[in-house]
Amino acid sequence: MNTTQLPDFEHTLALTQGNLEAPELAECHGIGCGLLCRLPDASLDAYIGLLDMLEVVKTPGSGLRMALEELLSATGAQLSDEDMGFSLWLPNDEEILEERTMALAQWCCGFLAGLGSSGDETLKAMSDEANDALKDLQKISTADVADTAESEEDEIAFTEIVEYIRVVILMIREDLRGPEEQDLIH
């Protein structure tokens, strides 16, 4: 599998110069994924405009803008990867579970905002399964993180939730994409 790699999360976090925390940076990826599921050819300007409208990133500096461009491009490539090489852009596994969980909740918030930002009829074409999955993402986006001791079970549960979200995003993307030209029966 030759999957396009997303930019390094921690390096990009440093490029924000303290203007974003890890959960907000993860939210940027969620917004981009939602936007690309709805508009696979979305431009960098549309993405930056959406980040601005949602008040996540206002006028990024050149380094952060380049990282966001790389993120959008890599995300688009991953979403169209036939080997399902899509991954969520979250803090590294070395970070505490509480921070990664907050970032995952923000990622889901961002995805829902990016997906629903069109204000048109696009989402009405989704399957019942995809709509049920959106409800799950809404629940995850409101996850309340209690400061607790981390356990191996918690790590396993987090990993399973991330994998579930990854598969859900690919399912939603397929629902919105519809059949390819070569798949149509003439």
- CATH number of the domain to which 38 belongs: 1.20.120.740
pTM of the model: 0.89
The reported pLDDT for the residue numbered 184 is: 43
Domain hosting 32: range is 9-177
157 CB neighbour count, 10 Å cutoff: 13
In a domain? residue 186: no
Inside any domain, residue 184 = no
Task: Using alpha carbons, select from 73, 65, 69, 75 the residue that is nearest to residue 15.
Answer: 65
Does residue 93 fall inside a structural domain? Answer: yes
CA 80, 37, 177 angle in degrees (round to 5)? 70
Question: What's the pLDDT at 18?
Answer: 83
Residues 102-144: pLDDT tens digits? 999 999 999 999 998 766 676 777 888 988 999 999 999 988 7
In a domain, 31, yes or no: yes
Most confident of 1-15, 85-99, 140-154: 85-99
Domain count, the chain: 1
Assess if residue 22 is contained within a domain.
yes
Closest CA to 78 of 152, 2, 130, 14: 2
Helices 97-116 and 22-38 cross at an angle (nearest 10°) of: 30
Contact call for residues 85 and 3 (beta carbons, < 8 A): yes
54 part of a folded domain: yes
Q: Is residue 185 part of a domain?
A: no
26 with 57: CB under 8 angstroms?
no
Is residue 44 in a domain?
yes
pLDDT of residue 52: 93
pLDDT digit string, tens, across residues 29-85: 999 999 999 899 999 999 999 999 999 998 888 889 999 999 999 999 999 888 778
